[in-house]
A and B are shown apart, each in its own frame.
Chain A
Amino acid sequence: MLDLRLYMAQRLSALVMAPLVLGHIAVMIYAIQGGLSTTEILGRTQGSLLWFLFYGTFVLAVSVHAAIGLRVIVHEWLRLRGIALDVLTWGICAALLTLGLSAVFAVTLP
């Protein structure tokens, strides 16, 4: 159920995600250990182009990667195929993009 195009999209999105995951974990550890409050976190992220690009890219890569991965699982385990499988793939991608980008906008828009 994976052709070359989807295979490359999943591998390339994984390539993008790898350093971002490490960065995200580092940020989480830093934020918790330092005892940063919500206000302090938002004070650093709101209006920051850097954090917008960091988590915006993360959300894009995750949406592509997860949608393709779930597509394979749904096809092999539930036997969904054809247009229904394409609709589900794009639906998962759109849902993750919507949820992720709304979160990114919420914390980075000034």
Chain B
Amino acid sequence: MTRTRDMLQVTVQRGEAGKTRMQRFDVPARENQTVLDVVSWIQQEADPTLSYRFACRVGMCGSCAMMVNGVPRWTCRTHVSRVANDGRLDIAPLRNLPVIKDLATDMDPFFDKWVAAEARHHPTRGRLEEFDPITPDNPERAEANLGIECINCGICYAACDTVAGNPDYLGPAALQRAWTLLNDSRDADRPTILAAVSGKGGCHNCHSMGSCAQYCPNELNPMRAIAGLKRETVKAALRGKRDA
């Protein structure tokens, strides 16, 4: 493969919240190069004060997500050749999250919402007891399996226009996690999960626009999980009325 240009024109958002600016860098183009390689080159060769976040570099840790040409992406697995626009890259911190500095966002609101959605394990048994076996053929287990490969990268949260318009909305990742736990036989507190996802910022705010599913780097479908939560919360509410 031959390249038509030797240099990439890269624009990076710099600064802290409320004081951001765009800074231009010329970065050598390589035959094989990820967006994270480009950001690392800038930090190592051009400006050591550039702040960004990464760890594993192989698409497992979920820490290197950024906006690339306006689209949220995992930068370690995104090849420049696939996303550069005529040799240009615009790199910015993840949307819908507060900026700490440069390309590093404050992930607290994202993970606080996981807790608010009760997207945490509620144990059924003690450590001395046998645990419930995983049965892949069980339909509920199969449904849970569809969502458990989430790496918490925050790309769906950045892609979600409902989060952008409604800051209280729990977001696709937290709700998908709640859905996997709801379908997990080893989770003991189904009513608490259903109550947590039924509040003012809950699953019913989703407009099913599908950006979460479109941009998830692991090709998960949080929109499907949220539809499942809507179904189960309505069923539970109707059952509750009948029992009363």
Contact = CB atoms under 8 A, between A and B. Distances in A.
Interface residues of A, number: 12
A89 B14 CA distance: 41
Nearest to B234: A8
Tell me what chain B mostly uses at the interface: helix, strand, loop, or mixed: helix
Give the interface size bracket for B toward A: 10 to 19
Given A3-B199, A4-B237, A6-B204, A76 B165 contact: yes
A1 B168 contact: yes
Interface string B185-217: 000000000000011101011000000000000
Given A7-B230, A76-B165, A77-B165, A1 B200 contact: yes
Given A8-B234, A76-B162, A3 B168 contact: no
A1 B165 CA distance: 10
B202 A4 contact: yes
A75 interface: yes
A76 B166 contact: yes
Interface string A67-105: 000001001110000000000000000000000000000
Interface of B: 162, 165-166, 168, 198-200, 202, 204-205, 230, 233-234, 237
7 contacts: A2-B205, A3-B202, A4-B237, A7-B230, A8-B237, A11-B234, A76-B162
